Structure 1
Amino acid sequence: MPADFQSTPFRTNADRSRNFEVGVLPYLDAAYNLARWLARDDMDAQDVVQEAMLRAFRYFDSFHGTDARVWLLAIVRNTFYSLRAKTSPVGMHESFDDDVHTVADEQPSPEARMMLATDVGSLQKALEKLPHPLREVIILRELEECSYKEIASITGQKIGTVMSRLARARERLKTELTQQPSEARRHDVQ
């Protein structure tokens, strides 16, 4: 976090705006990245980030924490889900059952598999296929490099839930990435 950022009461609107710019705006790219992966669409992600930034600015006086990045990512996540609830038909919500999506085997990690035989395109396609709860934890952990504690804070989940969802997300990615068409596998081997 920049050194001159202060989460103290503001004397003027100019102080408030300056502190917001210094403390929150550096994380705009991270906010867009999370919104893009949740929304799966550039235009929707832009709308989510715009609304999230408005909410962050509106409630900036209530921020008394030390990590503006985690605070902003939580706002982005909550904004996405609240906008999605307003616009999505009831039948469009993905179902997610913790009991059904369990880790089945103890083979090499998805990271090791990805390093062996994947390209960015197939990884993006595999990420797109994950249900929202799994996609958001893996994006926050692997792309945004958030700690388990930060992810738990952003998502409002317990650390154990974050860890189990991350394990299931990695397992699903591994499954998606190893079930490529035979032509792609032959190409990767040669």
Structure 2
Amino acid sequence: MDIDVPTSESASARFERWVLPEVDVLLRVAQSITRNTHDAEDLVQDTMLRAYRSIDSFDGRYPRAWLLTILRNTEINRHRRRRPSLLTAAQQTLPDPIADGGATAESVVVDLTFESAVEDAFEHLSDDFREVVELVDIGGLSYAEAAEAADIPEGTVMSRLHRARKQVRTRLEKQGYVAGRPR
């Protein structure tokens, strides 16, 4: 599939055509990767800046995959430069769901315990498995979009996603959690 890019079209016009429609997807994926709204917005901003700088070399095919590749590489580079830092007092304070309306102390503890177990299971996945879970289950991408973003075949996305979900389920079951759906 060849896409002819008019030579008279400005970089700004190409940016508006290919990049701006993908901002919501970039934000969703960045949020799932960083798990922090501020960091996600920064990551998307850096991604868009890099995309704008290289828009002249982009051929116009698969803009979402191109942008997600930039996003992923940008986050990898940012992660490498980031040094461990101490949590601020605000980050150490847990929200008070009981004061916010009706949750019992027991339900809060159960929810936090289960959430912690899921996060632990997720963190024990290999990077390859974690990546497809983030793209498909958290980021909401289709298998084809995730395949383009991760630069792997669609069948590989499906198999990694299946194996990742199975590993998370098995880990939760070993910790005493029962699957929530009937078999």
Give the alignment's TM-score, normalised by structure 1: 0.60
Which whole-Å CA distance do the structure 2 matches of 1:72 and 1:128 have between them? 29
Which whole-Å CA distance do the structure 1 matches of 2:48 and 2:55 have between them? 10
Alignment of 1:37-56 (within 5 A): 37-56=32-51
Q: Name the residue aligned to 2:88.
A: none
State the Cα deviation string for residues 86-107 of structure 1 (Å, max 9, x = none).
1146xxxxxxxxxxxxxxxxxx
Percent identical residues: 36
1:77–1:127: structure 2 CA closer, same or farther, 3 Å change rule? Answer: farther
8 Å Cα contact 1:40/1:128 also seen in 2: no
What count of residue pairs does the alignment treat as equivalent? 147
Match of 2:72 among 60, 72, 77: 77
8 Å Cα contact 1:37/1:135 also seen in 2: no
Unpaired runs of at least 5, structure 2: 85-110
Q: Secondary structure at the match of 1:130?
A: helix
Q: Secondary structure at the match of 1:56?
A: helix
Which whole-Å CA distance do the structure 2 matches of 1:60 and 1:127 have between them? 37
8 Å Cα contact 1:37/1:136 also seen in 2: no
Following superposition, the deviation at residue 17 of structure 1 comes to 0.8
State the Cα deviation string for residues 110-158 of structure 1 (Å, max 9, x = none).
xxxxxxxxx9xx689736752443232123234433334x434322345
Unpaired runs of at least 5, structure 1: 1-5, 90-118
Q: Name the residue aligned to 2:118.
A: 126
Amino acid at match of 1:126: V
8 Å Cα contact 1:32/1:45 also seen in 2: yes
Does 1:11 pair with 2:3? no
Give the alignment's TM-score, normalised by structure 2: 0.62
8 Å Cα contact 1:36/1:45 also seen in 2: yes
Which whole-Å CA distance do the structure 2 matches of 1:71 and 1:77 have between them? 10
Which whole-Å CA distance do the structure 2 matches of 1:7 and 1:73 have between them? 22
Q: Name the residue aligned to 1:145.
A: 141
Larger Rg: 2
RMSD (Å), alpha carbons: 3.5
